Amino acid sequence: MPNKLFGYLGAILIVALLISCAPAPAIAPTPTKVAPTPTPTPKAPKVGGVLSVAQISEAPGLDPHKVPAAATVRLTEQMYDALVKLNPNMQVVPDLASSWETPDPKTYIFHLRKGVKFHNGRELTADDVKYSIERILDKKTGAMAASYFVAIDKIETPDPYTVKFLLKNPFAPFLTNLASFYAMIVPKEVVEASGDLQKVAVGTGPFKLGERVPDNVTKLERNKDYFIAGQPYLDGLNFFVTKDEAAIVAALRAKQLDFATVSPSSARLLKTEKDLKVVSSPGLAYYYLGFNGSKPPFNDVRVRQAISYAVDRQKIIDTVFWGEAVLTGPIAPSLGDWAIPVSNYPSYTPNVTKAKELLAQAGYPQGFKSTIKVSTQLQIEAAQIIQSQLRAIGIETEIVQVEWGTYVADWRASNFDMIAGSNQGRADPDEYTYFHFHSKGSANVWKFSNATVDGLAEQGRTTIDPKERKAVYAELQKEIVEQSPLLFLCAPNNFFVYQNYVKDYVPMPNIQNLSFATTWLDK
């Protein structure tokens, strides 16, 4: 097993007091006065400098409503804002809306900040919020967050700074969904002038789009009119596309990069570097092996279950993630008691005999041939282990690597037999479940449909009482794993590496970098 990345130092101070045995009464010693250690005065943030950030792949587009790729989110989350956002504890806090109230379970009223400007200089109003959410709901947009807002019946704008959402029914994840990086507020005139937002970006965020060189660098510049006074401190952000993680490690050591999110193996290499800080935190994302449920043999649940019994998830954790991951079901364990223990899942215990029996029952006693689509190095490494394990039950697989833009397009179009990938972390169980596994879920690229799963997913999002809601999601998770539309492999820890002069960066479990607005360089 790999060594722990971090240890804890402890010190025990033993003080011996020798007491004289003479008959004279003991005299209490005079306490030694020790001057208190002065608390260092926090440094005031310095304004200026450009943060160089590693981007593992090129963003296939810049439209926050259309593109699910993490490489896109890393850019759009700096250039756009939503009505509300998540803090590092995954709690919903104000963003473009300064406050809100819910007079009843089906009504949400948001009060916008006044004087917020888009990067083109126009003031944001309630009409922009209405337009953005309706654009997401428009089927022509093909928005990733469409299923987040199906409960909306009507959006009203009583005045330029008030937005009123009227829902068809109580909808527990509504606030959290509004904080999604897929629910950013955009200006109508820019969308209409450009057709979409794939190559342009005009938001209200702390940084605005500067120079963009495909497969090289995207430069963001400070938004001097950002609505939070004094922020951001940085002059800009440069996102350098560096697809080879070995090159990222070398660039961090050479101070050619200031910040990167890295794999556990790279974190191990860098933790002893005196000029670098390595930070680890439990992640909300998980890695998976997905199946195209519209294609034989993966439309047979017995085949999917057989593969689950054949895969040794712990070996993937130990080999690919250096032990820095945990077994997971549909909801990552770091979301707390929303996730049920993986001991509830029999198919998580490798059982080749059981796997072969299920394949034979499905009509594949000799196995079959298939492909696994991948793009990133971690996907490749996980797929190689799966490939070896599936061979033991007669399934021969070819690993097909494609570049990132093609991978994302193929994922969205369900153009795969099997696909290795990862789903980003979420703050609400609805985002883990309905989004991916309901028949109408926006990210149900597996073409999976099951009446029981649909019913529980719908019940979970309309149940308001937390205790009752958790009971629904416990049952839903068991059903999803039983049906195995994909295999949940593991939820890895997040590793952030940055130069010691990078100050006030605060990691988030879902790997958002919202604190870049308050990050500064002490050099």
Q: 62-84: per-residue pLDDT in tens?
A: 999 999 888 999 999 999 999 99
Q: For the chain, give the percent of residues with pLDDT over 90.
A: 87
- Locate tokens 């019940």: which residue? 459
Is the separation of the CB atoms in 133 and 152 below 8 Å? Answer: yes
State the Cα–Cα distance between residues 313 and 327, nearest whole angstrom.
7
**What whole-number distance in Å separates Cα of residue 105 and Cα of residue 142?**
28
* Averaged pLDDT for residues 269-281: 94
Q: What is the mean pLDDT of the chain?
A: 91
User: Tens of pLDDT along 89-142?
Assistant: 999 999 999 999 999 999 999 999 999 999 999 999 999 999 999 999 999 999
The residue ranking higher by pLDDT, 426 or 230, is 230
| Predicted confidence (pLDDT) at residue 8 exceeds the cutoff of 80 | no
Furthest-apart CA atoms within the chain: distance in Å = 98
DSSP 3-state assignment of 199?
coil
Q: Per residue in 205-252, pLDDT tens?
A: 999 999 999 999 999 999 999 999 999 999 999 999 998 999 999 999
- Return phi, psi of residue 110, to 5°: -110, 140
Asked whether the CA dihedral 172, 89, 177, 129 is positive or negative, the reply is: positive
Round to whole Å and give the CA distance between 397 and 162: 55
* Contacts within 8 Å (CB) and 24+ apart, 444-449: 445/290, 445/411, 445/412, 445/413, 445/414, 446/290, 446/291, 446/292, 446/293, 446/414, 446/485, 446/486, 447/292, 447/293, 447/294, 447/414, 448/293, 448/483, 448/485, 449/293
Q: What is the pLDDT of residue 15?
A: 30
What radius of gyration, in Å, describes the C-alpha atoms of the chain? 26
Confidence bin at 40 (pLDDT 50/70/90): low
> Which of 8-22, 296-310, 392-406 shows the lowest mean pLDDT across its residues?
8-22
Q: Which pLDDT belongs to residue 36?
A: 53
Q: In the chain, what are the helix, strand and coil shares in percent, each to the nearest 5?
A: 30, 20, 45
pLDDT band at 358 (very low <50, low <70, confident <90, very high): very high
**Where do runs of H (alpha helix) occur along 174-225?**
174-178, 188-194
Tell me the CA end-to-end span of the chain in Å, nearest whole number.
Answer: 39
Q: At what angle do helices 429-437 and 466-483 cross, to 10 degrees?
A: 40
Non-local (6+) Cβ contacts of 279 within 8 A are 495, 496, 497, 498, 507
* Whole-prediction pTM: 0.82
